[in-house]
A and B are shown apart, each in its own frame.
Chain A
Amino acid sequence: MKTADSGVVGRGVVRADGPAKVTGAALYVDDLRPDGCWYGATVRARSAYARVANIRFAVGFDATGIALVTAKDIPGENIVELMTADQPALADGLVKHTAEAIALVAADTRERALEAARNVVFDETPIEPLFDPEIARGHATRLFGEDNVFSHIVLRHGDAGALFDAPPQGAIVVEGVYRTGLQEQLYIEPQGMLAEPRSDGGLTITGSMQCPFYIVDALKTVLGHDRFNVVQAATGGGFGGKEEYPSLVAIHACLLALKTGRPIKLVYRRDEDLWATTKRHPMRARYRSVVDTASGKLLAQTADILFDGGAYNTLSPVVNSRGVIHAFGPYVCEHTRAEALMVATNTPPNGAFRGFGAPQVQWAAERHMDRIARALGMDPVAIRRVNLYRDGDVTPTGQTLHDVGAQQVLEAALERAQQPLPESLARVRPGGGGSAARLVPGRGVALAWHGCGFTGNGEARLMGKADVALEGEDVVIYISSTDIGQGTETIFPQIVAETLGYPLSRVSNAPHDTAQVPDSGPTVASRTAMVVGRVAQRAAQALDALLTAEVGPSGTFAERVARRTSTAPLRAHAEYQDAGLQWDPKTYQGDAYPTFGWCAVVVDLDVDLDTGEVLYRRLVQATDVGRALNPVLCSGQLEGGALQALGYATSEEVVLDAQGGMRNNRLTNYIIPTALDAPEMETVLIEIPFADGPFGAKGIGEIPHDVPHAAVAQAIEAATGAVLDRLPMVPERVMKAMSDAAGGSAR
């Protein structure tokens, strides 16, 4: 079938949506303004836990022309459909977290809608809330189920208990506690949806999203019918923050559209988005290891992990799952026990964010490795080399690893890091103290592994679908996978063009409209290129077969297209093929993932001894990507993820108010890196092809966020002796840790 190697895979072709984005022509949901469009706003509770009643407009407020929607207006079920039926679309009498939506308003202008929302009042009777997951677990106050536990997973491998009970000669036990905080995805485009009544009485929902079919499922439940279609607009970033949350925004926009009979645009203000939407799950973990002092080999390990899920289940059990599977990082150990608890609290539900549990547990694993190195007097890189996975090693789920890129990425990163450092701005930056600044350099190295695709039989359950069609002389790819910046609009045409041997200029994705595209599964879990890309590739091969059946096999795809006498479109369909992974969800044993990504990070930085500021100098990452379908887009993803991890490391802190909500809910006060804060980055793409990925590609979207923060901690330790085991390592904590390290003096 494929004859000509068009050579388009592996090239950094210009992104398909690039011209629209650089000219300002790309249309995001807030750029759309249908005739007669009204604007929605959300009324939110303040209390963390309360009974609410008597929702009404404030006395004296002129509510002429304002629509008001409460739970009573929901035609179907008042549930946000996801994994469990515990989260209401609008709180009905009981609020379980601050910022929870209890009512909606719509008006003809945004100003009027916001004013109306400010003037909705209600009676709140507070109940004593639970904020600490350790206290919430098993507490008499029932937030979820019998014991407030969304998920409890134990993963055993070998017999760690025996080794802890009786450590062998020459072994020591090392123990540490590690913590991570909330982190906000901070997509630069806030959440937004537009719901428009259709002429057939249905609705079209257009908006900022990662997963159109999640929204379909959610709307079916709330509306009680399926007369609607969901369309992805250009989406200004997601990172997981637009995986599940948009379903709620879409529900709200639809309810207002039903109430008013008008198109409704519901776009969040930034302060609202920060306050109300999902964040990365905070984690507390205790790790213990039995280590052979002579060799540095890990003999046994345990990890007790506690995540805070917030008030509702959402996707938290899956975060718990990924956390427990990745708990020990890319290091082999024959005897392990990882136990992870995901607990409910009266805080806004936490949700998907790039890495999905892995950045938290690998923070712990890497810091623990550094603690072990310190205890043994070993170099932190040397001890990692001793324990790094190799081909044939078995993971805690009993999976035998093949094509392990761990050693290779480590050597590649270290080699690239030998290049001289770029010029530092530390001494020339305005306000930095110039030659008076006292800076000490440090380097940190960290390693990550990341399972690609859904865990275990997840892909087999999803059965992701793709169609590829010939329409005239154009080849159109029908998938629900959305481009949220990572380049889906570009790499899918590259895959299909190369598979067919057809010019790239003739291949494109259809708009992601659920009326037109099959369900490829969600755009998450580092699965889009690897899993859906492969399905699209097989659909292309099926299209090729259909064409051959029509006009015979000879010639290139283009020549056969030219031979057609029919103008009817040809459309081929493919579904995920079960790769035969053996996985037991009850015992957590088997093949957790079809393959793993591998990544090594080297961070060079300076610490300012007088202020505790961390000034990044350079970040080198070497990542096994299987095959870089588009090296520019691929390295772009790795660079972006790494910088998010640096923000996670030293500046992104969510400060809570008395109701457990985000107090610093303004961009002035939630600190992500600027171009001046960001280091120069070098990205080495290692290609160890994955046989079941399109052209060998494996998933890469999340791995760059898994460990740079740990490398930073090691670098700070190398520079100053300060040991930090808790994120974020803001200057206040660095100063304290330096002072502790120096025995009370920061000098």
Chain B
Amino acid sequence: MSVLLSHAAVLDPRDLGEALAMRAAHPDAVPLAGGTEVMVHLEAGMIDPQRFLNLWRVDALRGISGKPDGGLRIGALSTHRDLVLSADVARVAPALAEAARTVGAVQIQNRGTLGGNIINASPAADTLPVLLALDAVFEVQGATHGARRFAAADFFVGYRKLALAPDDLLVAVHLPPRHAADHTHFRKVGTRLAQAISKVMLGVRVRVEGGVVTDARVAFGSVGPTPLRARSVEAALLGRPVDPGTADLASQDVTPLDDIRSTAEYRRTVCVSTLRAFLASIAPA
């Protein structure tokens, strides 16, 4: 059952350069940010590494700032609480702040980081559907490949598998400016109203101009090995007035499972119903 005390060594860089060097020298060292996932896995005996790489002191990974184009740069070590309280995030990406507000509860939000949520890449990670819906871009640095950027949609390549090299570190998340014609939405159906792992999550951005949809992103979490885009729905939405009926197509884009928390049937049904409810709320009367 549980393991109580890790005897692992901890690499403790003071700045980003040192962090990247240590990551390169010890790619097996498990990165440790706020600890809200790593410590749970350790306690449950799911991991027992020899080394950790403590990122908590690397201030270069913190900070939320507006960009000249009106978008945002969010440091990877930004906590969920930082996202909830940030005026910038409220202005540019309120759906992301809402998602952050559903992560665990205050104690988890005060320590859990956006970077950690992304890197752990749980299919149930609360921020990922919104990041997909907003076309987030991930800024990465590593000894081998230097500085790179990844579109969120290209980043999650398999179950808890990322398009990263072993010596890469996620440095920041970039969000484009908010478009006046965008409707965004976040929905989390969990096991309860707080401290909940999600059964289904929805992150949506629908741009309506001249009465028709000109851009659509529909992303789901917890219904596949990665957070995923419902491409059939997106395609069906484009070029027409908002049609709640397109929600039915979500059924073919998701691959939910039966697990300890819920059933595939429920998840499939709820993907469709929650998406339909949102589309209905923005559809012409």
Whether, in the assembled complex, B180 has its beta carbon less than 8 Å from a beta carbon of chain A, the answer is no
Q: Do B278 and A668 touch across chains, with their CB atoms under 8 A apart?
A: no
Q: Do B278 and A433 touch across chains, with their CB atoms under 8 A apart?
A: yes
Q: Which residue of B lies closest to A610 (CB)?
A: B273
Complex alpha-carbon distance, A609 and B272, angstroms: 12
Q: Tell which of B149-157, B166-174, B185-193, B227-235 binds the partner.
A: B185-193
Q: Tell which of A176-184, A413-421, A435-443 binds the partner.
A: A435-443
Q: Do B191 and A746 touch across chains, with their CB atoms under 8 A apart?
A: no
A669-B260 contact, Cβ under 8 Å, with A111-B4, A611-B274: yes
Q: Do B277 and A610 touch across chains, with their CB atoms under 8 A apart?
A: yes
Q: How far is the CB of B137 from chain A (nearest CB, A)?
A: 24
- B residues within 8 A CB of A669? 191, 197, 260-261
Produce 1/0 per residue, A705-727, CB < 8 A to B: 00000000000000000000000
Complex alpha-carbon distance, A612 and B4, angstroms: 38
Q: How far is the CB of A626 from chain B (nearest CB, A)?
A: 35
Complex alpha-carbon distance, A644 and B284, angstroms: 44
A431-B277 contact, Cβ under 8 Å, with A269-B2, A677-B194: no
- B residues within 8 A CB of A434? 185
Q: Do B193 and A437 touch across chains, with their CB atoms under 8 A apart?
A: no
A668-B197 contact, Cβ under 8 Å, with A272-B1, A735-B269: yes
Q: Do A674 and B194 touch across chains, with their CB atoms under 8 A apart?
A: yes
Q: Do A676 and B194 touch across chains, with their CB atoms under 8 A apart?
A: yes
* Contact partner, A430, options B98, B274, B276, Cβ 8 Å: B98
Complex alpha-carbon distance, A735 and B98, angstroms: 26
Q: Do A438 and B277 touch across chains, with their CB atoms under 8 A apart?
A: yes
Whether, in the assembled complex, A664 has its beta carbon less than 8 Å from a beta carbon of chain B, the answer is yes
With most chain A CB atoms within 10 A of its CB, the pick from B1, B185, B195, B262 is B1
Whether, in the assembled complex, A159 has its beta carbon less than 8 Å from a beta carbon of chain B, the answer is no
Q: Which residue of B lies closest to A118 (CB)?
A: B1
A433-B194 contact, Cβ under 8 Å, with A110-B4, A114-B3, A613-B189: no
Q: Which residue of B lies closest to A438 (CB)?
A: B277
Whether, in the assembled complex, A362 has its beta carbon less than 8 Å from a beta carbon of chain B, the answer is no
Q: Do B187 and A431 touch across chains, with their CB atoms under 8 A apart?
A: yes
Complex alpha-carbon distance, A437 and B194, angstroms: 17
Q: Do B277 and A436 touch across chains, with their CB atoms under 8 A apart?
A: yes
Q: Do A429 and B187 touch across chains, with their CB atoms under 8 A apart?
A: no
- B residues within 8 A CB of A430? 98-99, 101-102, 188
* Contact partner, B98, options A431, A611, A671, A675, Cβ 8 Å: A431
- B residues within 8 A CB of A732? 262-263, 265-266
Q: Do A436 and B197 touch across chains, with their CB atoms under 8 A apart?
A: no
Whether, in the assembled complex, B280 has its beta carbon less than 8 Å from a beta carbon of chain A, the answer is yes
Residues in A392-446 with C-beta less than 8 Å from chain B? 425, 429-438
Q: Do A269 and B1 touch across chains, with their CB atoms under 8 A apart?
A: yes
Complex alpha-carbon distance, A455 and B9, angstroms: 60
Complex alpha-carbon distance, A671 and B195, angstroms: 9
Complex alpha-carbon distance, A118 and B260, angstroms: 25
Q: How far is the CB of B25 from chain A (nearest CB, A)?
A: 29
* Contact partner, A677, options B4, B185, B192, Cβ 8 Å: B192
Q: Which residue of A lies closest to B3 (CB)?
A: A114
- A residues within 8 A CB of B102? 430-431
Whether, in the assembled complex, A485 has its beta carbon less than 8 Å from a beta carbon of chain B, the answer is no
Q: How far is the CB of A107 from chain B (nearest CB, A)?
A: 12
Whether, in the assembled complex, A731 has its beta carbon less than 8 Å from a beta carbon of chain B, the answer is yes
- B residues within 8 A CB of A197? none
Q: How far is the CB of A542 from chain B (nearest CB, A)?
A: 51
Whether, in the assembled complex, A167 has its beta carbon less than 8 Å from a beta carbon of chain B, the answer is no
Whether, in the assembled complex, B164 has its beta carbon less than 8 Å from a beta carbon of chain A, the answer is no
Whether, in the assembled complex, B5 has its beta carbon less than 8 Å from a beta carbon of chain A, the answer is yes
Complex alpha-carbon distance, A610 and B268, angstroms: 12
Whether, in the assembled complex, B281 has its beta carbon less than 8 Å from a beta carbon of chain A, the answer is yes
Q: Do A663 and B260 touch across chains, with their CB atoms under 8 A apart?
A: yes
Whether, in the assembled complex, B270 has its beta carbon less than 8 Å from a beta carbon of chain A, the answer is yes
Whether, in the assembled complex, B92 has its beta carbon less than 8 Å from a beta carbon of chain A, the answer is no
* Contact partner, A271, options B1, B189, B274, Cβ 8 Å: B1
Q: How far is the CB of B130 from chain A (nearest CB, A)?
A: 10
- A residues within 8 A CB of B260? 655, 663-664, 669
Q: Do B192 and A651 touch across chains, with their CB atoms under 8 A apart?
A: yes
Q: Which residue of A lies closest to B198 (CB)?
A: A431
Whether, in the assembled complex, A673 has its beta carbon less than 8 Å from a beta carbon of chain B, the answer is yes
Q: Which residue of A lies closest to B45 (CB)?
A: A118
Whether, in the assembled complex, B212 has its beta carbon less than 8 Å from a beta carbon of chain A, the answer is no
Q: Do B101 and A651 touch across chains, with their CB atoms under 8 A apart?
A: no
Complex alpha-carbon distance, A436 and B98, angstroms: 15
- A residues within 8 A CB of B200? 611
Q: How far is the CB of B79 from chain A (nearest CB, A)?
A: 16
- A residues within 8 A CB of B280? 436
Q: Which residue of B lies closest to A275 (CB)?
A: B1
Complex alpha-carbon distance, A579 and B50, angstroms: 68
* Contact partner, B193, options A429, A663, A731, Cβ 8 Å: A429
- A residues within 8 A CB of B262? 732
Q: Do B187 and A674 touch across chains, with their CB atoms under 8 A apart?
A: no
With most chain B CB atoms within 10 A of its CB, the pick from A272, A435, A610, A671 is A610
Q: How far is the CB of A731 from chain B (nearest CB, A)?
A: 7
Complex alpha-carbon distance, A729 and B39, angstroms: 33
Whether, in the assembled complex, B42 has its beta carbon less than 8 Å from a beta carbon of chain A, the answer is no
Residues in B166-225 with C-beta less than 8 Å from chain A? 185-197, 199-200
A431-B101 contact, Cβ under 8 Å, with A114-B2, A674-B195, A677-B193: yes
Whether, in the assembled complex, B105 has its beta carbon less than 8 Å from a beta carbon of chain A, the answer is yes
Q: Do B191 and A671 touch across chains, with their CB atoms under 8 A apart?
A: yes
- B residues within 8 A CB of A110? 4
- A residues within 8 A CB of B3? 111, 114
Q: Do B2 and A674 touch across chains, with their CB atoms under 8 A apart?
A: no
Residues in B52-91 with C-beta less than 8 Å from chain A? none
- A residues within 8 A CB of B270? 610-611, 735
* Contact partner, A432, options B4, B105, B187, B281, Cβ 8 Å: B187
Q: Do B278 and A431 touch across chains, with their CB atoms under 8 A apart?
A: no
- A residues within 8 A CB of B199? 731
Q: How far is the CB of B256 from chain A (nearest CB, A)?
A: 12
* Contact partner, A436, options B185, B190, B194, Cβ 8 Å: B185
Produce 1/0 per residue, B242-277, CB < 8 A to A: 000000000000000000111101100110011011
Complex alpha-carbon distance, A436 and B186, angstroms: 11
Q: Which residue of B lies closest to A667 (CB)?
A: B195
Complex alpha-carbon distance, A615 and B150, angstroms: 39
Complex alpha-carbon distance, A430 and B191, angstroms: 14
Q: Which residue of A lies closest to B190 (CB)?
A: A431
Complex alpha-carbon distance, A675 and B195, angstroms: 11
Complex alpha-carbon distance, A118 and B2, angstroms: 10
Produce 1/0 per residue, A629-666, CB < 8 A to B: 00000000000000000000001000100000001101
* Contact partner, A746, options B1, B192, B194, B273, Cβ 8 Å: B273
Complex alpha-carbon distance, A663 and B261, angstroms: 11
Q: Do A435 and B192 touch across chains, with their CB atoms under 8 A apart?
A: no
Residues in A584-613 with C-beta less than 8 Å from chain B? 609-613
Q: How far is the CB of A426 from chain B (nearest CB, A)?
A: 10
Q: Do A436 and B281 touch across chains, with their CB atoms under 8 A apart?
A: yes
Residues in B112-149 with C-beta less than 8 Å from chain A? none
Q: Do A674 and B277 touch across chains, with their CB atoms under 8 A apart?
A: no
Produce 1/0 per residue, A664-690, CB < 8 A to B: 101011010111110000000000000
- B residues within 8 A CB of A668? 197
Known: A114-B4, A433-B274. 17 other contacts (CB 8 A): A114-B3, A118-B1, A425-B193, A430-B99, A430-B102, A431-B190, A436-B187, A436-B277, A610-B277, A611-B200, A611-B270, A611-B273, A613-B189, A651-B191, A663-B260, A666-B44, A668-B197
Question: Could you list 21 A-B pairs, sorted by A, with CB under 8 Å?
Answer: A269-B2, A425-B193, A431-B101, A431-B102, A431-B186, A433-B187, A433-B277, A434-B185, A436-B185, A436-B277, A436-B278, A436-B281, A437-B277, A611-B200, A611-B273, A664-B260, A668-B197, A669-B261, A671-B192, A731-B199, A735-B269
The 5 closest A-B pairs by CB, nearest first: A431-B188, A610-B273, A436-B281, A430-B101, A431-B102
Chain B interface residues toward A at CB < 8 A:
1-5, 44, 98-99, 101-102, 105, 185-197, 199-200, 260-263, 265-266, 269-270, 273-274, 276-278, 280-281
